[in-house]
Amino acid sequence: MLVAFSVAPLGTSESVADAVADAVRIVRESGLPNRTDAMFTTIEGEWDEVMDVVRRATEAVGAHAGRVSLVLKADIRPGHTGELDGKVARVEARLAEG
């Protein structure tokens, strides 16, 4: 499965970047395929392992504030791996075809 999520602290004067960096660090240390962009971090793996990483990343952000915003989108497709890059590659191939 692919899970794209965004997590941020609410109600704090502390830098959001510090809290988000703590969350992204947990994702990267998980060893799961992942990608971070300006809006979301996407992780690929099995349900339990991906959701565990999301939970731990959310808890890390929660250490910065008493309230946390979590936005999550999932693509659940059993039996498929490599989709973090595969989905993008298929679109790029179509674009290259003209």
CATH number, domain with residue 33: 3.30.70.930
What is the domain extent for residue 70?
2-97
Owner of token pair 């999301």: 54
CA distance 77 to 2: 8
Q: What is the pLDDT of residue 76?
A: 96
Q: What is the pLDDT of residue 58?
A: 98
- Other beta carbons within 10 Å of 97: 6
Whole-structure pTM value: 0.91
Q: For the chain, what is the domain count?
A: 1
Q: What is the pLDDT of residue 13?
A: 82
CA distance 42 to 35: 5
pLDDT digits over 10-64, tens only?
998 878 999 999 999 999 999 999 999 999 999 999 999 999 999 999 999 999 9
